């Protein structure tokens, strides 16, 4: 198949109707790896390996996996079994994590109402949490009989594993986002009945490219800035050598080692044209899959910024603070003095349930397509563009009507804040509010024999933090990218051929009215599930 080509034919359309999305088996792994089986003898596995400490900012994957599992269990009760890879010490701990971090959440309320006292019996029949870790061979699963069972049953592998922290430690990001993807591919290749490997990536593997970003793959060694020398194995050696150097440094602390590895990730990403470690290592993961997949049918799904659910299992469910939500939290609590971003810029977001529906649709459409390789952008910037100013206005409208009540029991009155619509305006604001006070404090501190060392160090730390955060998020708040969704729209039209399935597996962003969604769904959801 050529780059960007989409296979639409009568066979695909009839297969969708005949399958009717009867997911019979679903084997997933909570260590960021989950899978799904459909139509009689299908098994699937969903994969999830994101570390708990990175559930904030753009980290939507942890939530996405649970929404995916909840949806399968809710709409396909005939599912055979889901193997959920969970980072845990043993099977008992894996089950406990699944119950505490998935079933106990509000997300599962609809299932709780449906099954009542029989819920745990239903789940024990359908779900097997498996202790493992995708950074290891065979996904870290130590039970040999269980591995053989999975290899014999699984037919669709869905990989959602990622650490999404923009400036993650390079060793951690490379292990999860790049070589973790390779481990998933190797595991999938041993599944006798394998019909599809679905890899959830991110649209932002395109970096800071402006204009229309096509649904095309990246090839091994391909840099965004045409730089030469990008070699994934070399990157691994660079990490190993840097860690070895740090291990011999007697002055190195855990904190300094972490910072050094974070800086190394940004440095290597920038060298080849990517803005941060997250998208760089995700791009490398895509390259490995494309290069090593052989005859394995591969679909890569690239969502944009994932927001709260639009409809299911109920509107507004969200977990963890993402970029947009951190703005809402700060603004609603009266802690935000300005917005950084061009009000006219298009910011690409997509509700989580739409991403999950697109995942299920790709599984239904592409299983059994020998050696297929296709990319889907799941976003809104082309089909239904959202401007940054719409989010700002929705936040003002919501909190004006529903003010946050602070710890003193008083409502926080919001006002329209200053908008810094360019980096030049930010630099002026930053210099006046941060750099000048820091310089003044430095002079005073020196004159008074360092009496204000603690205050100065604290302010300097905050200043450095603001600079780092702005550099990390600058590509997104001033984005000039538009993500082509031609393949995704064709898939959506295919789903719409069946009215029942169209209502159940919606993912067309044109159905969204952005101001209504943010004011009446997303922001209220963030207030309920995220604000503390």
Catalytic residue among 282, 376, 398, 476: 282
Which DSSP category does 506 fall into? -
Question: What is the Cα–Cα distance from 229 to 50, expressed in whole angstroms?
Answer: 29
Which class for 161: exposed (0-12), middle (13-18), buried (19 or more C-beta within 10 A)?
buried
Tell which residue, 2, 7, 9, 71, has the closest CA to residue 36: 71
Alpha-carbon distance of 321 to 471, in angstroms, equals: 19
What six digits make up the tokens of 343? 């009000």
Catalytic residue among 30, 54, 170, 278: 278
Q: Is the dihedral of CA 385, 483, 395, 356 positive or negative?
A: positive
Q: How far is CA 231 from CA 243, 266, 281, in A?
A: 19, 16, 12
- Torsion angles phi and psi, residue 202, rounded to 5: -150, 145
* Integer CA distances (angstroms), 471 to 270, 340, 342, 474, in order: 12, 12, 15, 5
Per DSSP, which regions of 117-194 are E strands? 127-131, 156-159
Quick one: which of 120, 111, 136, 117 has its CA closest to 31? 136
Cβ contact 45:35 at 8 Å: yes
**Catalytic annotation on 244?**
no
Question: Does residue 398 carry a catalytic annotation?
Answer: no
Q: Are strands 298-303 and 196-200 parallel, antiparallel or unpaired?
A: parallel
Q: Residue 218: which of 205, 202, 232 has the closest Cα?
A: 205
* C-alpha to C-alpha distance for 202 and 225, rounded to whole angstroms: 19
Q: Other CB atoms closer than 10 Å to residue 219's CB: what's the count?
A: 11
Active-site residues, by number, are 278, 282
């Amino acid at each position: 198949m050529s780059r960007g080509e989409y296979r639409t034919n009568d066979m695909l359309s009839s297969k969708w109707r005949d399958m009717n999305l009867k997911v019979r088996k679903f084997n997933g792994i909570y260590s960021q790896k989950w899978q799904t089986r459909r139509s009689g003898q299908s098994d699937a596995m969903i994969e999830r390996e994101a570390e708990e400490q990175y559930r904030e900012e753009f980290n939507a994957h942890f939530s996405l996996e649970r929404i995916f599992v909840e949806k399968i269990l809710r709409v396909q009760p005939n599912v055979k079994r889901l193997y959920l890879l969970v980072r845990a010490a043993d099977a008992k701990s894996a089950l406990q994590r699944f119950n505490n971090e998935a079933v106990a959440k509000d997300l599962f309320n609809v299932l709780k109402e449906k099954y009542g006292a029989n819920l745990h019996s239903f789940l024990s029949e359908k779900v097997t949490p498996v202790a493992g870790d995708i950074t290891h061979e065979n996904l870290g699963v130590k039970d040999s009989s269980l591995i053989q069972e999975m290899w014999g049953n699984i037919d669709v592998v869905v990989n959602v594993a990622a650490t999404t922290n923009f400036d993650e430690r390079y060793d951690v990001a490379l292990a999860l986002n790049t070589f973790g993807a390779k481990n998933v591919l190797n595991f999938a290749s041993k599944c006798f009945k394998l019909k599809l490997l679905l890899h959830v990536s991110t649209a932002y593997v395109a970096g800071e490219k402006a204009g229309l970003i096509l649904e095309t793959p990246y090839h091994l060694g391909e840099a965004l800035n045409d730089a030469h020398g990008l070699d994934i194995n070399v990157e691994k050696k660079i990490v190993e050598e840097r860690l070895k150097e740090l291990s011999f440094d007697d002055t190195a602390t855990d904190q300094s080692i972490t910072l050094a590895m974070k800086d190394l990730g940004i440095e290597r990403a920038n060298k080849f044209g990517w803005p941060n470690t997250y998208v760089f290592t995700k791009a490398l993961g895509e390259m490995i899959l494309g290069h090593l997949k052989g005859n394995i049918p591969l679909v890569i799904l690239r969502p944009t910024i994932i927001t709260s659910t639009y409809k299911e299992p109920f509107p507004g469910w969200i977990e963890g603070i993402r970029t947009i939500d951190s703005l809402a939290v700060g603004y609603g609590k009266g802690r935000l003095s300005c917005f950084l971003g061009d009000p006219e810029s298009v910011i690409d977001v997509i509700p989580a349930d739409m991403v999950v529906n697109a995942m299920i649709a790709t599984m239904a459409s592409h299983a059994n397509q020998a050696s297929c390789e296709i990319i889907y952008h799941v976003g809104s910037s082309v089909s239904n563009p959202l401007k940054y100013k719409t989010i700002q206005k929705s936040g003002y409208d919501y909190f004006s009507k529903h003010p946050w009540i602070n710890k003193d029991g008083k409502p926080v009155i919001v006002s329209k804040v200053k908008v810094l619509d360019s980096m030049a305006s930010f630099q002026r604001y930053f210099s006046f509010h941060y750099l000048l006070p820091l310089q003044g404090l430095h002079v005073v501190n020196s004159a008074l024999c360092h009496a204000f060392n603690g205050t100065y160090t604290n302010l300097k730390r905050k200043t450095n933090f603001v600079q780092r955060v702005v550099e990390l998020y600058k590509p997104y708040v001033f984005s000039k990218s538009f993500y082509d969704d031609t393949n995704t729209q064709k898939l959506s039209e295919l789903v719409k051929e069946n009215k029942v399935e169209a209502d159940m597996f919606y993912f067309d962003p044109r159905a969204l009215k952005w101001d209504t969604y943010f004011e009446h769904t997303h922001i209220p959801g963030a207030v309920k599930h995220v604000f503390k």
